[in-house]
Structure formats: structure tokens, C-alpha cells
Amino acid sequence: MTPHVIIVGGGFGGLSAARHLRGADVRVTLIDKRNYHLFRPMLYQVATGLLSADEISGPLRSILSHQRNVDVLLDEVTGISPNQRRVHLKHRDLAYDFLILATGIQYNYFGHDDWRGFAPGLESLDDADVIRTKVLLAFEWAEALAAAHQGQIEEIRRLLTFALVGAGTVGVEMASTLAEMSHMALARDFRHIDPRTARILLYEAAPRVLPTYPEELSRKAQRHLESLGVEVLTNARVTNVDADGIVVGGQKIPAGTVLWGAGVVASPAALWVGAETDKFGKVMVDPDLSVRDHPEIFVIGDTAHVVAPARNLFGIKSPEPMLLPGVAQPAIQEGKYVAEIIRRRVAGRERPKPFWYWDKGDLAIVGRTYAVADLRFIRFAGLAAWFVWASVHIYFLIGFANRLFVLLQWGFDFLTKRRRVRVLTEESPASENVIDPAA
């Protein structure tokens, strides 16, 4: 019978593997608990109203509709029996010949999962909707309080305080965008409050923002954040989160909106297959990205701890292997590599050489026309880095239509300094967490 390949996860890694199995003599089943592929690097723009959800996502069935050997299954994996080669889903089991785990990561609340309800992370389109609603409602309720002349100055100040926990890429992106949103997009929309008085607080437990970037780029990013009005606090560990705000260094910080981006932990894939993990729960894989003692199981993307040889943009080999970061490019390349291994094994051909990574550098946006870029052989910041960031992200969007819409929307935002996606539905998902001014 035709070998059956099961791919768990429709993110960058899983989708890359599925696409590169096109035309192979295998049956592919792609399983995901969501029916869409999400371009997560732009998710913060949905959370702040710049882009709509359909501009950074696409239905998996539609993306793979022309690939005859792929089935897409909307379901959730509950476990795996490696010895029996079976994947357990909520309502049935599936047998496999090859298994690719690309299940991604989730935010780590360090044993305080009860904080999740007060400080959502940015993982999915639903999270983006929740965050956008919380942000917009904070301004609306502050306006209502001020219009009612109830004299609740402290409560208005709390509502207009936004605390972001974690100054990695997502935290920096969100902080800079919220600052620009309050100073530009919303500046003239209210009559009783001044959105420009909103406080954007960015907390980082490490000594600097963007701790995985070179120190010089971290300094430049922090200076630009501060020029936007963001209050950056480093060496500041959050010890509690509740409905009223956060606690940092024993001090209570009242905040109407708290957003979480302080750390990530891998999915339970390692538990499913009984594999060795690193301290973040990522699976330790062999040089061909397979699980030790299970050459038919591959782990890629954020789920895998991969140390591999690397080459820079010009193909120059790095002197030492590198630990691959949890970003899109490693996942895409790993998916392609694993697909090639499976194609060769099915065809009885020689296996490819061990995986190596084409390192295209790291990019982080810090505002509407400012970014930092570490291309390994050169580091720079400012408008030039922003153009590189924009070009790379536009290129990797799914489909020409998405690229065109995003490009047009960015141009509109650049000229008008406004946000288009700001409509609140009657049943707003975050409204229960905001105090009613009439109460």
C-alpha cells in the first residue's frame, strides 16, 4: 500500500513538509486543531487593528487544494503510540508509516496558568481578537468615565495603562505599535480623554530588551521605544497578575490591560513519543531531525531542539553549529528537508546529508518605519532595516492576494496614521474583564 505520512500542525514547518511531498508516492494527512495557516509574525498587527485576520491567514484546505495526495483533517491529537505507529485523536486513531510533528509552542506562565485569563498571549487569531477588544474597550470605558464626570481619575489612569510582560520580539512589536496607536491613530477620536496620555509599560526580566539580539541592536531598539513614549523596565520580574494589574519587585502596578509574552514552552509532543527534551520541553532530535530510536518520526519547527551547521546569506559556513531559533525560516527549511528524506526512503534512494541551516538573520520591527536587523555579517537599524523586514514578510505571505492587500493597507496606514479594524461586536470577548463605569 502507499505509505501514509501524518503531519501534525499546519504552521510553517508542517505546511512546508506537506507542500514538498507534492508528487511523492505517499498519502499525506495534515492534522490541525485550527482550519487555517497563520502568518504569526504579523499577528500583532491584527491585535492592534492594522490588518484583518484574513490578510495574514488562509484555510489549509484551500492552500493545499491542488495537491491531490494531501488530506486535511480538523482534529486534535491526544497522544501517540510510537511502537504501534498510531496517532490518537479525540474520536479515532490513525496509523502512519511516517510521522512529522510540527506542533509549535505556547506561552509559558511559569506555573501560574491562572494568569492567562488576565494576561492573554498572542498565539492565534482568537487571541488577537481578544487583545484588540481589550485595548479598544479600555479607551472606550475611560472615555465613558470621563464623560460621566464621576471624578474617577485613578480608574481612568488605570484603564489607560497597558503593561506588557516580556520584551522579546512580540513584546517590542506590541509596545511600539500600541504607543503609535495611542499617539496617532486614536489621538483625535475621543472628546473627554486624551489617548496620548496612555502609558505603555514594557517589562523584561533580563538586563535588556530583545535579549537574543546583539547588545548594540538591543540598545538601539530601546532608545527608539523610549522615543515613542514606551516606558522600558529591565531586570524587572513580574511576580503576580490579577484583574487590577501586576506586581513587580513587590510593587503593585495598576493596569487595565496586561499582555503576556514572557516565555514559551513546547507542545506536549515529547511526552507523546517519550523523547528526551531540553529545559523548554523541545524534543532533542538527531542530525536528520528524527527522534532517537524512531527513525520514522520527525520533529521540526518550534517543537524541536535543533543544533545544526549554518551558512549565512552568501553561503559562507559558520565556524560552529548553532542552536536554531524558534522562527519561521528554520521551520520552513526543516519541513522541506524532512519531506526530501521521506521521498528518498520511499523511492529506495540514498538519504540526503545531515540537515544544515541557511541562516538569513534575525529581524524585529520597532514601530512603523523602524526595525533592527542582524544578518550576521552586518547589523543595522532604522528605515533600511524596516524595508528589509517588510520585504521579507510580504514575500512569505500565503498567496498574491494577501501580499497585495497587506501592501495596500500598510501604505494607507503610513499615509493616514490610522487603524482600519476597530469595530467592536456586541458580544466582545474581553468585555467581562473591563470595569463598567456605571457600576
**Selection from 204, 111, 160, 127 nearest residue 119 by Cα:** 127
Is residue 122 within 8 A of residue 39, CB to CB? The reply is no
**Which tops the pLDDT comparison, 29 or 249?**
29
Q: Which triple of cell numbers denotes residue 439?
A: 457600576
Same domain, 205 and 136: yes
Same domain, 119 and 100: no
Among 304, 331, 358, the domain boundary falls at: 358
**CATH number, position 348:** 3.50.50.60
pLDDT one-digit tens code per residue, 8-49: 999 999 999 999 999 999 999 999 999 999 999 889 999 998
Q: Is 45 a member of any domain?
A: no
Confidence of residue 402 (pLDDT cuts 50, 70, 90): confident
Enclosing domain of residue 242: 113-262+362-424
- Name, in order, each residue with C-beta under 8 angstroms of 262's C-beta and a sequence gap of 6 or more: 107, 108, 110, 165, 166, 171, 205, 238
**Which tops the pLDDT comparison, 343 or 279?**
343
Q: Distances in Å between the alpha carbon of 226 and those of 24, 180, 201, 232, 255? A: 52, 12, 10, 7, 19
**Selection from 374, 376, 326, 332 nearest residue 355 by Cα:** 332
Residue 82: per-residue pLDDT: 96
Same domain, 17 and 159: no
Active-site residue identified among 173, 180, 334, 340: 173
Q: Is 173 annotated as catalytic?
A: yes
Same domain, 172 and 229: yes
Number of domains in the chain: 2
**CATH number, position 229:** 3.50.50.100
Q: Is 49 a member of any domain?
A: no
Same domain, 350 and 287: yes
Rounded to whole angstroms, the Cα distance separating 287 from 38 reads 28
Residue 230: per-residue pLDDT: 97
Kindly state the average pLDDT of the residues 233-262.
95
Kindly state the average pLDDT of the residues 371-396.
90
pLDDT one-digit tens code per residue, 97-156: 999 999 988 888 988 989 999 999 999 999 999 999 999 999 999 999 999 877 789 999
Rounded to whole angstroms, the Cα distance separating 162 from 154 reads 14
Q: What DSSP character marks residue 326?
A: S
Is residue 318 within 8 A of residue 358, CB to CB? The reply is no
Same domain, 164 and 305: no
Provide the 3-class DSSP secondary structure of residue 28.
Answer: strand
Residue 420: per-residue pLDDT: 61
pTM of the model: 0.91
Residue 418: per-residue pLDDT: 65
What's the burial of 128, exposed, middle or buried (CB within 10 Å: 0-12/13-18/19+)?
buried
Residue 437: per-residue pLDDT: 46
**Which tops the pLDDT comparison, 192 or 438?**
192
Kindly state the average pLDDT of the residues 370-398.
89
Q: Is 70 a member of any domain?
A: no
Confidence of residue 216 (pLDDT cuts 50, 70, 90): very high
